[in-house]
């Protein structure tokens, strides 16, 4: 490999048995064949349009035929300079060889491949001194001699294509029960290796218990020159900028480790629907929250519902079965979010033991095969001994989400206590749902009742001893549903599709204009109109999304904020006892037609330090920072909910 020339010089030895009648191989069309030998003899061939046809008459069928192809190919794709705002997770790069790094994806035939045939691979890569290559399988050795670094890998699991990455890496390693744990990091990030190796060990131990044996001989964390988060069979490729985020150890890393089971060892037939992102999100991102506590788990489920409500409309919605991959945020809200909730509801439907037993069976039966939703339905129906057709038809094959509301709720004294009655309404074609109704008493005591919904209206009547003060449906957010507009708090995400955006700079805070430049770029507000506060009238603000830089002096420009956020007339601020040196808050305008955001900072430098970060906190309403570090990130409590009713505390007549 010659990164300075973007060139791969290859020698491929293929052992093929038996030899097919016509031998046609795939190889990137820009390749140049230097020689081709079959069992040691030069044979005629034809290479055009990425298809290499070997024209030799098939020799007597021996057990194995040896085909040796020498070739070279250049991979010159230029990665985008600016990746902010690109939704395509590959950044349009499927294969490139460059001095800053090499990435050749498994879908690109960078070595000759027999279409449809899965082989075992031994790969040896010679690169300039210090450049190490990583691919599937076990690391055999890596050494530098005479100005070249040679790395070799052995991959015994049959695969058709292989992804390969290379770069100037520091290699660190550990061993976990015979599984190689490896990190390939740039010099800048080499100090992260011990933390990654320890986290890999911890996650592998946890997931092996839950999901069955880890399917590969190694797991490697590899740094990429593009800001990717790829999960490949037995390795993950993470961008330089993201790899040092401390929370990655417990977010992206377990996500990519869980993909070893789902999406890699058990493959996805994309044409039949990509179930692996929903399942991986559920078992990694979600399950780690669940281990941290019930409140964290509920908040995560709620975030899924908020993302769906904010990003998915009746026009762009689609059934989970049609999800193939994430090209836009609304697709992620269905494929990852609704997918994860579907596995959560499946777990509640079949029970804890059956759920984990079913997953282990999926891992064992699906290893080396591709599964679709149909097989998942079959496995769980068989494990639970019940037909789950209705479940998969409802959640996987049908687009949309239930829309639920409490209606006509009343409280009456009854023998020995109180009776709360009412109706749960479903808008649209009803779903079959098991929902929890929770009564809360004045002293905080709660009583849960389970109700099955089947039709558009389900009446209920709940008896309870202590006088309840509130009734809430699905208080723990166990069900996937479409939140009502009043349940959706304003968040940073609401600024991403602005309506006639206007930036207003508070009197005396003009330097914030320059400091906020990266904020405007991150929100795609570069073209927003910009004004000083003295040059706008409140009438001009109606229906417009607004960003206030600094606390306006004029009362009529000051937004209404939640009471727990205190802002003094001089612009100093505090949220529940925390202050920090920079604040970003998003609120809904009183007419609910637009969004108002507010950036406050003690100093211009404090504002400039947080400006490029804010757009990454899309789900939050309030952010507090100190010295550029996030102190508080929170989402407002919803103003109201059709799923919650406060009960009168006076006895009705
Ligand atoms: Zn994933």
CA dist 28 and 30 (Å) reads 6
The reported pLDDT for the residue numbered 57 is 63
Three-class secondary structure of residue 520 per DSSP: helix
The reported pLDDT for the residue numbered 643 is 95
Cα 84 to ligand 1 centroid, rounded to whole Å: 20
CA dist 232 and 157 (Å) reads 13
What angle do helix axes 373-384 and 352-366 make, rounded to 10 degrees? 130
Cα 279 to ligand 1 centroid, rounded to whole Å: 9
Span 427-452, average pLDDT: 94
607 found inside a domain: yes
CA distances (Å), 302 to each of 282, 308, 418, 601, in order?
13, 10, 31, 30
The reported pLDDT for the residue numbered 400 is 97
pLDDT level of residue 336 (50, 70, 90 thresholds): very high
The reported pLDDT for the residue numbered 415 is 87
The reported pLDDT for the residue numbered 203 is 97
Please state whether the peptide bond connecting residue 18 to the residue before it is cis, i.e. omega within 30 degrees of 0. Answer: yes
Alpha helices in 20-144 (DSSP H): none
Cα 277 to ligand 1 centroid, rounded to whole Å: 5
Cα 229 to ligand 1 centroid, rounded to whole Å: 8
What is the C-alpha R_g of the chain?
A: 29
Same domain, 511 and 463: no
pLDDT tens per residue, range 540-556: 888 889 999 999 999 88
Three-class secondary structure of residue 207 per DSSP: helix
Alpha carbon of residue 618 to chain centroid: 13
Cα 255 to ligand 1 centroid, rounded to whole Å: 6
The reported pLDDT for the residue numbered 498 is 80
Angle, vertex CA 190, rays to CA 185 and CA 192, nearest 5: 100
CA dist 342 and 339 (Å) reads 5
Expressed as residue numbers, the domain containing 335 is: 267-395
pLDDT tens per residue, range 132-157: 999 999 999 999 999 999 999 999 98
Same domain, 470 and 579: no
Span 630-640, average pLDDT: 87
3-state secondary structure 321-368: HHCCCCCCHHHHHHHHHHHHHHHHHHHHHHCHHHHHHHHHHHHHHHCC
Domain CATH for 430: 2.60.40
Q: Considering 395, 414, 443, which residue would you say is the last residue of a domain?
A: 395
Span 629-643, average pLDDT: 88
The reported pLDDT for the residue numbered 214 is 96
Three-class secondary structure of residue 278 per DSSP: helix
Same domain, 497 and 630: yes
Closest CA to 285 of 265, 303, 263: 303
Q: What are phi and psi of 453, to 5 degrees?
A: -100, 135
476 found inside a domain: yes
CA dist 358 and 347 (Å) reads 10
pLDDT level of residue 639 (50, 70, 90 thresholds): confident
Question: Where does residue 119 rank: exposed (0-12), middle (13-18), buried (19+ CB within 10 A)?
Answer: middle
63 found inside a domain: no
Q: Are the C-beta atoms of 268 and 251 separated by less than 8 Å? A: no
Cα 455 to ligand 1 centroid, rounded to whole Å: 35
pLDDT level of residue 531 (50, 70, 90 thresholds): very high
Residue 222: count other Cβ atoms within 10 Å of its Cβ: 27
Same domain, 379 and 412: no
The reported pLDDT for the residue numbered 563 is 82
**The tokens 């019940």 sit on which residue?**
386
Tell whether the model's pLDDT for residue 187 goes beyond 60. yes
Span 440-461, average pLDDT: 94
- State the average pLDDT for the chain: 91
pLDDT level of residue 60 (50, 70, 90 thresholds): low
Q: What are phi and psi of 228, to 5 degrees?
A: -85, 170
CA dist 1 and 128 (Å) reads 8
Cα 193 to ligand 1 centroid, rounded to whole Å: 22
Same domain, 203 and 320: no
Cα 263 to ligand 1 centroid, rounded to whole Å: 8
The reported pLDDT for the residue numbered 426 is 97
Q: Considering 348, 365, 395, which residue would you say is the last residue of a domain?
A: 395
The reported pLDDT for the residue numbered 323 is 96
The reported pLDDT for the residue numbered 589 is 66
Span 67-80, average pLDDT: 91
318 found inside a domain: yes
Three-class secondary structure of residue 421 per DSSP: strand
Q: Are the C-beta atoms of 256 and 264 separated by less than 8 Å? A: no
Domain CATH for 208: 3.30.2010.30
Give the N- to C-terminal CA distance of the chain in Å, as an integer.
86
Cα 179 to ligand 1 centroid, rounded to whole Å: 22
Same domain, 278 and 388: yes
Cα 270 to ligand 1 centroid, rounded to whole Å: 14
Query: Residue 382: CB partners within 8 Å, gap ≥ 6?
Result: none
Three-class secondary structure of residue 48 per DSSP: strand
Region of residue 519 (left: phi > 0; alpha: psi -120 to 50; beta: else) = alpha
The reported pLDDT for the residue numbered 592 is 63
Cα 399 to ligand 1 centroid, rounded to whole Å: 21
Cα 281 to ligand 1 centroid, rounded to whole Å: 7
Same domain, 501 and 627: yes
Same domain, 240 and 374: no
Three-class secondary structure of residue 512 per DSSP: helix
Percent of the chain with pLDDT over 70: 96
Same domain, 540 and 448: no
Q: Considering 336, 364, 395, which residue would you say is the last residue of a domain?
A: 395
Cα 278 to ligand 1 centroid, rounded to whole Å: 8
53 found inside a domain: no
Q: Which residue has the higher pLDDT, 328 or 411?
A: 411
Domain CATH for 559: 3.30.379
Cα 373 to ligand 1 centroid, rounded to whole Å: 17
DSSP at 433: E
Percent of the chain with pLDDT over 90: 71
Cα 249 to ligand 1 centroid, rounded to whole Å: 15
Span 316-345, average pLDDT: 94
Cα 325 to ligand 1 centroid, rounded to whole Å: 9
Q: Which residue has the higher pLDDT, 219 or 593?
A: 219
Same domain, 202 and 271: no
Cα 609 to ligand 1 centroid, rounded to whole Å: 30
Cα 227 to ligand 1 centroid, rounded to whole Å: 15
Cα 106 to ligand 1 centroid, rounded to whole Å: 17
DSSP at 109: -
Three-class secondary structure of residue 256 per DSSP: helix
> Would strands 235-239 and 457-464 be described as parallel, antiparallel, or unpaired?
unpaired
Cα 289 to ligand 1 centroid, rounded to whole Å: 17
CA dist 9 and 1 (Å) reads 6
Region of residue 273 (left: phi > 0; alpha: psi -120 to 50; beta: else) = left
Cα 247 to ligand 1 centroid, rounded to whole Å: 16
Tell whether the model's pLDDT for residue 91 goes beyond 60. yes
pLDDT tens per residue, range 267-294: 998 889 999 999 999 999 999 999 999 9
Domain CATH for 281: 1.10.390.10
Cα 141 to ligand 1 centroid, rounded to whole Å: 30
Tokens representing 486 are 């009043």
Cα 256 to ligand 1 centroid, rounded to whole Å: 6
The reported pLDDT for the residue numbered 392 is 98
CA dist 420 and 462 (Å) reads 5
Cα 259 to ligand 1 centroid, rounded to whole Å: 7
Cα 323 to ligand 1 centroid, rounded to whole Å: 13
pLDDT level of residue 124 (50, 70, 90 thresholds): very high
Report the domain count for the chain.
4
Region of residue 338 (left: phi > 0; alpha: psi -120 to 50; beta: else) = alpha
**The tokens 């498994």 sit on which residue?**
106
Same domain, 384 and 456: no
Cα 211 to ligand 1 centroid, rounded to whole Å: 17
Span 335-360, average pLDDT: 98
150 found inside a domain: no
Same domain, 482 and 498: no
CA dist 299 and 278 (Å) reads 17
Query: Residue 47: CB partners within 8 Å, gap ≥ 6?
Result: 27, 31, 33, 53
627 found inside a domain: yes
Cα 231 to ligand 1 centroid, rounded to whole Å: 7
Cα 223 to ligand 1 centroid, rounded to whole Å: 17
Cα 476 to ligand 1 centroid, rounded to whole Å: 25
96 found inside a domain: no
Span 57-74, average pLDDT: 80
The reported pLDDT for the residue numbered 59 is 58
The reported pLDDT for the residue numbered 245 is 87
Cα 403 to ligand 1 centroid, rounded to whole Å: 28
Q: Are the C-beta atoms of 621 and 635 separated by less than 8 Å? A: yes
Tell whether the model's pLDDT for residue 87 goes beyond 70. no
pLDDT level of residue 89 (50, 70, 90 thresholds): low
pLDDT level of residue 80 (50, 70, 90 thresholds): confident
């Amino acid at each position: 490999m010659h990164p300075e020339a973007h060139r791969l010089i290859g020698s491929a030895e293929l052992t093929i048995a038996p030899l097919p009648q016509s031998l046609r191989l795939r190889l990137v069309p820009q390749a140049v064949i230097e020689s081709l030998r079959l069992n040691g003899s030069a044979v005629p061939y034809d290479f055009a349009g990425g298809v290499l046809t070997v024209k030799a008459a098939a020799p007597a069928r021996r057990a194995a035929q040896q085909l040796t192809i020498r070739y070279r190919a250049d991979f010159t794709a230029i990665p985008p300079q600016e990746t902010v705002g690109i939704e395509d997770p590959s950044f349009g790069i499927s294969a490139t060889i460059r001095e800053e790094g090499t990435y050749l994806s498994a879908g690109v035939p960078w070595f000759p491949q027999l279409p449809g045939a899965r082989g075992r691979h031994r790969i040896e890569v010679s690169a300039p001194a210090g450049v190490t290559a990583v691919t599937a399988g076990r690391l055999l050795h890596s050494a530098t001699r005479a100005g070249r670094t040679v790395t070799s890998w052995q991959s015994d699991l049959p695969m058709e294509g292989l992804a390969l990455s290379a770069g100037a890496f520091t290699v660190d390693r550990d061993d976990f029960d015979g599984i190689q744990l490896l990190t390939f990091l740039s010099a800048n990030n080499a100090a992260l290796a011990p933390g990654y190796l320890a986290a890999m060990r911890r996650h592998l131990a946890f997931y092996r218990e839950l999901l069955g044996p880890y399917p590969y001989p190694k797991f490697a964390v590899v740094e990429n020159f593009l800001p990717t988060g790829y999960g490949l069979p037995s390795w993950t490729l993470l961008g330089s900028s993201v790899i040092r985020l401390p929370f990655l150890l417990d977010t992206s890393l377990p996500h990519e480790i869980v993909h070893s089971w789902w999406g890699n060892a058990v493959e996805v037939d994309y044409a039949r629907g990509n179930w692996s992102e929903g399942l991986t999100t559920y078992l990694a991102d979600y399950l780690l929250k669940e281990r941290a506590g019930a409140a964290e788990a509920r908040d995560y489920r709620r975030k899924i519902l908020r993302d769906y409500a904010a990003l998915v409309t009746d026009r762009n919605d689609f059934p989970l079965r049609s999800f193939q991959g994430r090209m836009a945020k609304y697709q992620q809200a269905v494929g990852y979010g609704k997918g994860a909730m579907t596995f959560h509801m499946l777990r509640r439907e079949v029970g804890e033991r059956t759920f984990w037993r079913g997953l282990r069976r999926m891992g064992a039966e699906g290893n080396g095969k591709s599964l679709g939703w149909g097989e998942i339905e079959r496995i769980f129906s068989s494990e639970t001994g019940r037909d789950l057709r209705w479940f998969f038809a409802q959640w996987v094959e049908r687009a949309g989400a239930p829309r639920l509301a409490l209606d006509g709720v009343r409280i009456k004294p009854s023998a020995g206590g109180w009776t709360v009655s009412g109706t749960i309404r479903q808008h649209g074609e009803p779903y079959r749902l098991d929902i929890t109704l929770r009564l809360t008493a004045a002293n905080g005591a709660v009583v849960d009742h389970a109700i099955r919904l089947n039709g558009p209206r389900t009446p209920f009547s709940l008896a309870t001893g202590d006088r309840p003060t509130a009734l809430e449906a699905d208080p723990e957010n166990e069900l996937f549903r479409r939140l009502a507009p009043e349940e959706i708090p304003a968040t940073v995400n609401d600024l991403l599709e602005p309506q006639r955006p206007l930036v207003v700079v508070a009197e005396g805070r003009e330097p914030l204009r320059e400091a906020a430049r990266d904020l405007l770029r991150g929100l795609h507000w570069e073209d927003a109109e910009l004004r000083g506060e003295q040059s706008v009238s409140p009438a001009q603000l109606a229906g417009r999304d607004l960003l206030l830089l600094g606390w306006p002096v004029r009362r009529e420009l000051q937004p209404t904020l939640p009471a727990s956020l205190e802002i003094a007339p001089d612009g100093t601020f505090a949220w529940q006892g925390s202050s920090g040196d920079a604040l970003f808050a998003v609120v809904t305008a009183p007419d609910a037609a637009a969004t108002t955001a507010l950036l406050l900072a003690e100093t211009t430098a404090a504002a400039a330090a947080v400006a490029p970060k804010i757009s990454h906190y899309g789900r939050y309403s309030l952010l507090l920072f100190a010295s550029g570090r996030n102190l508080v990130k929170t989402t407002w409590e919803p103003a109201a909910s059709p799923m919650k009713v406060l009960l009168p505390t006076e006895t009705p007549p």
